[in-house]
Amino acid sequence: MKHDFTINPALLPALAAFACVARHASFSRAAIELGMSPSALSQSVRSLERRLGARLLHRTTRRVGLTESGERLLRETLPALARIGGALQALEESRDVPAGHLRITTPRIAVERLLLPHLPAFCALYPQVEVELEVQAALTDLVAEGFDAGIRLGESLADGMVAVPLGPPQRLVVVGAPAYLQRHPPPDTPEALAAHVCMRYRRSDGRLMPWEFTRNGQDFSVEVGGGPIFNDSGLGRRMAIAGLGLAQVFEAAAADDLAAGRLLRVLDDWQPPFPGFHLYYPSREQLAPKLRVFVDFMREANGAPP
């Protein structure tokens, strides 16, 4: 004999209605609990009886009682209905509790400067949230790749994303080691970079990133060359420290090396600050508690405006 454990979803409300009537032994009292009219409730139970081909309730003007078929059906289905009700109640009670797996896509500099300094405190405060950080520079389709949120520069975000500022404005800097700049006169304009060895960065789409500057309020880019090509800007900075040439990196990433004198700035007047990183996600509707607390915590920890 083949067993079919599936059930028509349309039967579940009728089964719940039948169980409620059986518990109260009254259509009117059950209708009050379910928030429906006695006639609509009676029709729901009659429809269930027709679909099952069995009479489930004895109805008189004074009393409602179970038939033999009704007793059997109630005995077999009541535990399952109770489990369903318990599961729904548990979900409702836990919907405001931050918990679960939280996947974030982010570039390396944002991890190092914005997340890692505050992640231990977040994990201690919300131990039921399991944070997974995937370091990648390329823009990612959050929904298609199964991410809850991402961190990128504000200018890079796709339309329709909810974006929350995270941390201060950012700035690019061109840097070189003192030894390199002693051997090569520092450039006084971006165009003068043609005479220098420049570290280059290859994006995930295969394109080489030009170096970006601003003149008289207008942004422009310069194609540089002569140096090695990396897909990690941190490697370019390390090569600049070694004296191989110049690199354009985020000021925050080079802050320690600049302070220690391992690197020096050039072309500083050509690189004003710009809006920094944003934590972004697809929609504000029914924001999961685990993501809501992460957004609020990291925004406050990084001193971002509300």
We report the CATH number of the domain holding residue 105 as 3.40.190.10
Q: Is residue 158 part of a domain?
A: yes
Strand partners, 175: 247, 265
pLDDT for the residue 188: 93
SS3 content of the chain, % helix, strand, coil (to 5): 45, 25, 35
Rounded CA-CA distance 243/220 in Å is 27
- Total domain count, the chain: 3
For the chain (306 residues), the mean pLDDT of every run of 10, in chain order, is: 55 85 86 86 88 86 83 85 74 71 90 91 93 84 84 73 84 94 94 93 83 89 88 87 94 92 94 86 78 92 71
90 and 221 in a single domain? The answer is no
Domain boundary among the residues 30, 60, 95 is at 95
Give the model's pLDDT for residue 304.
61
Give me the amino acid identity at 28.
S
pLDDT of 1 reads: 39
> Does residue 1 belong to any structural domain of this protein?
no
62: CATH: 1.10.10.10
Q: Within this chain, do residues 151 and 224 fall inside the same structural domain, yes or no?
A: no
- The answer to whether residue 116 is domain-embedded is yes
- Report how far residue 81's alpha carbon sits from residue 70's, in angstroms, rounded to the nearest whole number: 15
In angstroms, how far is the first alpha carbon of the chain from the final one? 63
Position 272 scores a pLDDT of 87
